[in-house]
Copies of this chain bind each other. A is one copy, B any other.
Amino acid sequence: MMSRPKILVTNDDGIIAPGIRALVEVAKRLGDVLVVAPDSPQSGQGHAITITEPLRLKKVNAFEGVEAYECSGTPVDCVKLAKNVLVKSENIDLCVSGINHGSNASINIIYSGTMSAAMEACLEGIKSIGFSLLDYSFEADFSAAKYYAEKIITSILNHKGDSDLLLNVNIPKLPLNEIKGMRVCEQGQGVWEEKFQESEDPRGEKYYWLTGHFRDGTFGEKSDLFALKNGYVSIVPSQYNLTDYKVMENIKYFEKA
């Protein structure tokens, strides 16, 4: 392992969430930690960036012995500020994001600020891992998640190559001794079944509020959803190249149109 790697820690639940505290505890045992995290919850922000207004960055004393900043923007803004204002990206050895309160398995990766922050670091050539625990509660028990985060971070820091590595790690809501191990998976197929709660504000104007629940789709034994259902930590290697290569041939007719 390199001597004291530089680890950037961020999340989307905000700098006071217990999940990032758990991740900082793990990261500071393994390297020199810099925290840049949103000053408010940013779940569901996806890969949003702030371009039409200014960003604030404030040094905070949130974690003992750790340089930490809260940022007024999105999780992706946090990574951009970290690498452009606070430290050059070539000096960051690893970015870890989370530990998210709630699953980012399956298509949740698309909406997730946690995973988008990790992807942003990956775009900059920084190895990156997003961690999520399948428990939305603020009082969630992060002990098993911490155990696996430490195992995975240690392993990635020791492993050469793949500077564009991006891992989506999800941990089942189980006590450590009931987790069966880790599985390398593909992104499972699931859907959000959504409804909008329709109501009226005090002025009699209609509004809509998003509600919904995640439903597993048809997914195979290689999927993260299957691994999690069976008591394993799921690790999905992910990428920002969205090209669907298998469709390219099917639509070649456009070139003759």
Contact = CB atoms under 8 A, between A and B. Distances in A.
A47 interface: yes
Contacts of A45: 46, 48
A84 interface: yes
Contacts of A17: none
A207 B116 contact: no
A237 B241 contact: no
B198 A85 contact: yes
Given A194-B80, A198-B85, A257 B182 contact: yes
Contacts of A195: 84
A129 B41 CA distance: 32
A250 B49 contact: no
Interface string A53-81: 11111000000000000000010110011
Interface in A239-257: 239-245, 247-248, 250-255, 257
Contact of A235 (B168, B239, B254): B254
* Residue picked from A54, A195, A240, most chain B C-beta under 10 Å: A54
Residue among A52, A191, A206, A241 with max Cβ neighbours from chain B (10 Å): A241
B46 A243 contact: no
A55 B210 contact: yes
Contacts of A119: 110
Main secondary structure of the interface of A (DSSP, over half): mixed
Interface in A184-242: 184, 186-187, 191, 194-196, 198-199, 201, 205-210, 235-242
A123 interface: yes
A155 interface: yes
A76 B56 CA distance: 26
A214 to B, nearest CB: 12
A134 to B, nearest CB: 18
Contact of A237 (B51, B166, B196, B243): B243
B242 A187 contact: yes
A181 interface: yes
Contact of A50 (B44, B155, B257): B44
11 contacts: A43-B51, A47-B110, A54-B209, A80-B194, A80-B210, A84-B195, A85-B198, A162-B247, A165-B247, A167-B251, A186-B245
Which 3 pairs show the lowest CB-CB distances between chains A and B?
A46-B47, A237-B247, A54-B207
